[in-house]
Amino acid sequence: MPQARLDEITRLFFRVGTTVFGGGNTAIAVLQREFDRRGWLGPEKFALSFGLARLTPGTNFLAFCAATGWYLQGIGGAIVAVLGTTIPASVLVVWLTQAGEVGNGYPWARSVIAALLAAGVGTMLGAAVLLVRSQCSSKKWLRPVVIAVGSFILARTVGLSPLSVIGIAAAAGFFWTES
């Protein structure tokens, strides 16, 4: 697995912090794909980061960044991942607050943001497909598909919280192991 350099980690997280709209889930989807593209993080470490981030207080996405940064380059990686993601976005949010306070409306910006949000939704759905596909093979596809679809139904239809869904999936994974 290629070793990620600190400057490469900084660039990736900075980019995600400035260009990905639609919240933490979209950003995780983008990061998952970029890790996969670069061969930086295996599915086990990604899954552990994702699961533990849900159990960490505060913004789950930032805990996810800290975890993946930690896996890539230790404490330095964790720090640059969190700073790279949050500093540019924080500067922008202050600017947006100022703009909102003085009542400025920018229709062109709204049009761009609407397009970015649509792309964010497509990215999330695409990443969900990629995640399931990464765990499937021609012979072993039933367990991944059942767990992913079941999680979707539990969250969307039954209305369980993400933490509960992850807990149920973890229990299913514990008792339903692959041969």
Quick note: the x/- pattern for other proteins over 101-120, rule CB under 8 A, is: x-----xx--xxxxxxxxxx
Does 41 sit near other proteins (CB under 8 A)?
A: no
- The residue from 5, 39, 93, 104 that contacts other proteins (CB under 8 A) is 93
Does 80 sit near other proteins (CB under 8 A)?
A: no
Apex CA 133: angle with CA 56 and CA 13, to 5°? Answer: 45
- The residue from 9, 67, 72, 80 that contacts other proteins (CB under 8 A) is 67
Does 151 sit near other proteins (CB under 8 A)?
A: yes
Does 4 sit near other proteins (CB under 8 A)?
A: no
Does 8 sit near other proteins (CB under 8 A)?
A: no
Does 46 sit near other proteins (CB under 8 A)?
A: yes
Q: How many CA atoms lie within 13 A of 174 on its CB side?
A: 6
Give me the DSSP letters along 153-175.
Answer: HIIIII---HHHHHHHHHHHHHH
CA distances from 121 to 14, 76, 89, 130, 164 (A): 21, 31, 19, 14, 23
* Number of neighbouring beta carbons within 10 Å of residue 108: 7
Minimal distance in Å, beta carbon 25 to other proteins? 5
Does 142 sit near other proteins (CB under 8 A)?
A: no
Does 21 sit near other proteins (CB under 8 A)?
A: yes
Minimal distance in Å, beta carbon 135 to other proteins? 6
CA distances from 108 to 20, 38, 112, 113, 116 (A): 18, 34, 6, 9, 12
